[in-house]
């Protein structure tokens, strides 16, 4: 049975203004895998004619956030997802439309168990940014946490 996660795209688009402004599109969403895309726009290019580094970073961070929301939706009443740190590795000049693929690298059950035990779990999400030809232009790791909401 498949679960519909279109609500994740709607929630992020409605609560993170940059996502709508940039034109991020959500192509596929599951609790362990998200694919987002961003059409090429001249107003978001850098001096070399490709998407600005901040735009690439934002696309991948958005995909990783969609995983955090989809995977831990049931914990949102008691915890807030926050980015702890990110590292991006630019591999090749990106030109044209981009796609970011994000993958949760820890089982959600482990993360939830740590949260329920009273610790702040870390949930790394690996992201790959590709151009329209499927060539990897950057790789990024975003480490999220779930911060418990004090009652």
Domain with residue 64: its CATH number is 3.10.129.10
Ordered strands of the 122-131 beta sheet: 25-29, 33-38, 98-104, 122-131, 136-148, 79-90
Can you give the residue range of the structural domain that contains 35? Answer: 6-148
| Residue 69 is assigned to a structural domain of this protein | yes
| Residue 1 is assigned to a structural domain of this protein | no
- pLDDT single digits (tens) 46-77: 999 899 999 999 999 999 999 999 999 999 99
**How many separate domains does the chain show?**
1
- pLDDT single digits (tens) 116-133: 999 999 999 999 999 999
Residue 144 backbone dihedrals phi, psi, to 5 degrees = -100, 160
| pLDDT tier at 3, thresholds 50, 70, 90 | confident
């Amino acid at each position: 049975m498949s679960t519909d996660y279109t609500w994740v795209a709607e929630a992020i688009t409605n609560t993170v203004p940059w996502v709508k402004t940039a034109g991020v599109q959500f192509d596929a969403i599951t609790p362990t895998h998200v694919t987002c895309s961003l059409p090429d726009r001249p107003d978001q290019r850098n001096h070399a004619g490709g998407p600005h580094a901040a735009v690439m970073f934002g696309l991948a961070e958005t995909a990783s956030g969609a995983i955090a929301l989809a995977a831990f939706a049931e914990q949102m009443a008691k915890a807030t997802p926050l980015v702890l740190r990110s590292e991006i590795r630019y591999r090749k000049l990106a030109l044209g439309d981009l796609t970011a693929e994000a993958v949760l690298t820890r089982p959600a059950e482990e993360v939830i168990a740590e949260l329920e035990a009273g610790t702040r779990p870390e949930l790394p999400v690996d992201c790959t940014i590709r151009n329209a030809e499927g060539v990897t232009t950057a790789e990024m790791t975003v480490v999220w946490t779930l911060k418990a909401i004090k009652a």
